[in-house]
Amino acid sequence: MNDEEAALLMAALAAVESDIEGDEVPQFASSCSVLDHTKIEPIALEAKDDADAAFYYNLDLIFPPPPPSWDLRLATSFLERYWKNGRKNLQCFPFCPEYHDFYEMKMHNKKHASVGVCRTPVHCTLSAPYTAVPLHVLGRFEQISPGRQGALPPAFSPPNGAGFELFQAECFEATEVETKRVTLPTGLVTTTWMFLPDVWKVQPLLRKKRKATRAGPAQTFPFYFRVYVYIKEPCGAMRCQATVLSTSFELFSTRTMDRLKKAWVVRV
């Protein structure tokens, strides 16, 4: 074999080795100090077409997605207006099961079939990761100025542990409807909670409506029913995991109802 033939043979062998190396399956490194304890290995590729799928799979191992969020929703619909008596007790809240609305009942001289306070429950649903820590599902009425967002949920650190007890005392507390608990394949748990106090009472100091003046237009301060979900952290702090607001509604006095009814009777 002369020198020319030897050179051709070496070139052919180099080409074959290059093809073999090109057919080798690439590996995606998954070594991450944060994930060493998980003992998760990257998947091996069987074909070049699987490269994209494997890339994103191994990317999730290195940068795992965030944990599922807490999703809190009100399942009860609210009316546009409600009525309170002199003791700040709401009438037919959140709706009247017989006449739907306290206003319609009064204006048509109707009465409830049963004696006592007319009230119905407020329900909310919570979708959250399973936790063995007890949940505190609290609700209260709040007034929010138009164009503004509600205040941030209060936080209670260990030195202010008594602060949460005071906040809890000012709220309605819900109980879980255990028959409606559902565990999803994703690991989330959906629960239903019910508020049903003896009396629906408006707790905050009412800000009265402002009539229109030369200085500015009339102002109203709509009401909302707001729900909070608190858990106790290992350090002892009480942290709000989720909160939700109802649709807004206005609040009127039953004395206003009496005046409207008298005026309506006169017109008729």
- Predicted confidence (pLDDT) at residue 1 exceeds the cutoff of 80: no
Give residue 144's pLDDT: 85
- Predicted confidence (pLDDT) at residue 129 exceeds the cutoff of 50: yes
Residue 104's pLDDT band (cuts 50, 70, 90) = confident
- Sign of the CA dihedral 195, 201, 207, 209? positive
Give residue 113's pLDDT: 87
What are the tens digits of pLDDT across the range 216-226?
555 678 999 99
Give residue 108's pLDDT: 84
Give residue 121's pLDDT: 97
What are the tens digits of pLDDT across the range 204-251?
666 666 555 565 555 678 999 999 999 998 888 899 999 999 999 999
Give residue 226's pLDDT: 97
What long-range pairs does 118-121 form, CB within 8 A, spacing at least 24? 118/91, 118/92, 119/90, 119/92, 119/93, 119/196, 119/197, 119/199, 119/200, 120/93, 120/94, 120/95, 120/96, 120/196, 121/76, 121/194, 121/195, 121/196
Burial (CB < 10 A; 0-12, 13-18, 19+), residue 31, is exposed
- Compute the average pLDDT of residues 133-154: 88
Give residue 171's pLDDT: 95
Give residue 27's pLDDT: 39
> What is the token pair recorded at 222?
């709509």
Q: Which of the residue ranges 3-7, 22-26, 116-120, 219-223 would you say has the lowest mean pLDDT? A: 22-26
Give residue 11's pLDDT: 56
Judge whether 77 and 94 are in contact, CB under 8 Å.
yes
- Compute the average pLDDT of residues 60-84: 82
Give residue 5's pLDDT: 55
Q: Which of the residue ranges 97-106, 113-122, 163-172, 216-225 would you say has the lowest mean pLDDT? A: 216-225
- Predicted confidence (pLDDT) at residue 34 exceeds the cutoff of 50: no
CATH 2.60.40 domain locations along the chain: 71-209+219-267
Q: Quick one: fold of 71-209+219-267?
A: Immunoglobulin-like (2.60.40)
Task: Select the more confidently predicted residue: 241 or 41.
Answer: 241
To the question of pTM greater than 0.75 for the whole model, the response is no
Judge whether 117 and 196 are in contact, CB under 8 Å.
no
